[in-house]
Structure 1
Amino acid sequence: MRISRLYLPVPLASGADVVLDGEHAHYLRTVLRLKRGFDLTVFNGEGGEFAARIVACHREEVRLAVGDYRPVDRESRLGVHLGLGISRGERMDLAIQKAVELGVGAITPLFTERCVVQLDGERKAQRLEHWRRVVWAACEQSGRNRVPEVLEPRSLDAWLPAAAGLKIFLDPHARGGLRELEPPVGMVTLLSGPEGGFSDAEREAAVAESFTPIRLGPRVLRTETAALAALTAIQTLWGDLAA
């Protein structure tokens, strides 16, 4: 039976007991349907993971006994920061979830000219919290023990000057592809647009900040597909699967 993994953003140490808060207790008891005596893996995003066993599991308390530390590292050797144009609902969730599975190191949601989602005040804070939960769940599923950061949503204009490393943006009108670029040293910043893509002015602004436009093939990809196809290719060429 597959051992469940649980992200716990608290200090963890071998030999300690951890009492789960209401949300984590409900998830373990009601969603995963685990019981006293079950084994699982816990991690806190700081690297490595711990064996754990449920020693109490009832309405009043869910408590874990933390066991041996395992220095397991499943991170890509290539740091990737994804600037992702904000899209609607499940499309954005899917792009974030799969980007985590594909090893992205950080994600910044971006407001662009053709962004159809309007976020401000409390709604922006709620969406940011939701996206971070999507990341936590993706780390639990994929075996990652370091949690990628989801940064505060920003405008594209404000984000572009802060980008670092090999800077790439996805543009179906571009002529070149990833294979034509020099392998990166350090990190990659990948910019992927929202539904409707980038405007001409946004393309020009990205190029002015030393972003290289690349295309992924002859077909126009949906926003949730484009970033994932690019991340897969980047990991194959320069990251997880590179020679």
Structure 2
Amino acid sequence: MQRYFIAPEQLTATEAVLTGDDAHHLVKVMRARPGQTIICSDGQGREVLAEITALEPGIVRASVVETLPLTAEPAVHVWIAQSLPKGDKLELVIQKGTEIGAARFLPFLSARTVVQYDERKEAKRVDRWRKIAKEAAEQAHRNRVPVIEAPLTWKQLLNRVPEADAAFFCYEKPSGRQLREALRDAFPADSAETRAGRTVLLVIGPEGGFTEQELQEAEAAGCVAVGLGARILRTETAGMVGLTCVLYETGEMGG
């Protein structure tokens, strides 16, 4: 069944109204007809089964049939802070991270970021990243669309570290601690109930990795340096591996 995220004001107690790309997709791609049912979510905690009642130019109206339970979101909120990679790699990180279950993405600039940052062009890229997250959340049957923030400076990112209950700085050290061990230390005796709502921040470096100074600054800000195994991962792979590890260790995948 097709699932769509719509603005909260488009979902009332009795009706869901789809416009723009969503209406076009339903009518032109899915060939929707009155009587068919769809799932609509406001992305803020309300999701409904709705029956299409009218197809108008650029608008699809649907009557709310029932409110659905929210069961697709991880109890632990994982934020991925990703140093801006080259090309369209961040699109892959956002798409796959959304499918796996990330709650928020915080792109940032670090010492070895090779991307030439242009604030004017970046606004368009952020819009595209948000569209990718929305489409991936619909495909994965998420209840919420992850938040995609505008790129931060390194200092701005460090100022956000205290917002997380646990923050991990992914850094390749042959003898360093691994993420699994650090997670168990961060949440030693938590039950599934007490873990619910906790936030975990994963900080991922660029293609060239982090500098030693950035490691020291991150640790001073409250991050714990961790490894993601014995292999060196590409920047677009590291966040997805770390995210999956966190969700498994916190019981999302039966861990």
Q: Structure 1-normalised TM-score?
A: 0.89
Match of residue 43, structure 1, among 19, 33, 41: 41
User: How far is 1:26 from its partner?
Assistant: 1.5
2: CA distance between counterparts of 1:161 and 1:149?
Answer: 18
Structure 1 residue matching 2:88: 3-state secondary structure = helix
- 2:168 is the alignment partner of 1:168: yes
Alignment match, 1:234:
246
- 1:216: which partner in 2? 228
State the distance in 2 between where 1:145 and 1:54 align: 20
Count how many residue pairs are aligned between Structure 1 and Structure 2.
240
Percent identity of paired positions between Structure 1 and Structure 2: 32
Do the aligned partners of residues 27 and 217 (structure 1) sit closer, same or farther apart at CA in structure 2, a change above 3 Å counting? same
* Residue number in structure 2 paired with 1:194: 206
The answer to which of 151-160 and 62-71 deviates more is 62-71
Cα distance in structure 2, aligned partners of 1:16 and 1:102? 30
| Alpha-carbon shift at residue 133 of structure 1 (Å) | 1.0
- Residue 102 and residue 121 in structure 1: after superposition, are their counterparts in 2 closer, same or farther (change >3 A)? same
| Amino acid paired to 1:172 | E
Distance 1:29 1:137 in 2: 17
Contact kept, 8 Å, 1:14 with 1:67, in 2: the verdict is: no
Q: Any idea what the Cα deviations from partners look like across 1:4-29, whole Å, max 9, x if unmatched?
A: 111111331342252x3232221222
- Deviation sequence 1:159-204 (CA, Å, 0-9, x none): 1132132110111225110232214363211101122221222222
Work out the CA distance in 2 between the residues paired with 1:165 and 1:137: 29
Whether the 8 Å contact between 1:48 and 1:73 is mirrored in structure 2 is no
Q: Which amino acid letter does the alignment assign opposite residue 235 of structure 2?
A: T
Q: Hey, what's the Cα distance between the residues in 2 that align with 1:77 and 1:49?
A: 18
Q: Report the equivalent of 1:139.
A: 137
Cα gap change, 1:179 to 1:83, in 2 (>3 Å) = same
The structure-2 alpha-carbon separation of the partners of 1:226 and 1:35, relative to structure 1 and needing over 3 Å to count, comes to same
**TM-score normalised by L of structure 2:** 0.85
* Letter paired with 2:88: E
Q: What corresponds to 2:66 in structure 1?
A: 68
Contact 1:35 1:54 in 2 (8 A): yes
SS in 1 for 2:8: coil
For 1:75 and 1:95, locate their aligned partners in 2 and report how far apart those are by CA, in whole Å.
18
- Give the structure 1 partner of residue 23 of structure 2: 25
- Distance in 1, matches of 2:87 and 2:24, equals 25
* Deviation per residue, 1:73-113 (Å, 9 max, x gap): 32111122211111134311111112122222211111112
Q: Residues 239 and 97 from structure 1, CA distance in 2 versus in 1: closer, same or farther, beyond 3 angstroms?
A: farther
Q: Deviations along 1:140-165, whole A, 9 cap, x unmatched?
A: 01111122211221012221132132
Distance 1:194 1:51 in 2: 42
Query: Aligned equivalents of 1:21 and 1:48: distance in 2?
Result: 18
In structure 2, the CA distance between the partners of 1:177 and 1:63, relative to structure 1 (3 Å rule), is same
How far apart, in 2, do the equivalents of 1:46 and 1:179 lie?
31
Structure 1 residues not aligned, in runs of 5+: none
Contact persistence 1:107–1:149 (CA under 8 A): yes
Whether contact under 8 Å (1:95, 1:224) holds in the other structure is yes
Distance in 2 (alpha carbons) for counterparts of 1:64 and 1:224? 39
Q: Distance in 2 between matches of 1:159 and 1:46?
A: 25
Contact 1:81 1:188 (8 Å CA) reproduced: yes
Change (3 A) 1:61 1:213: closer
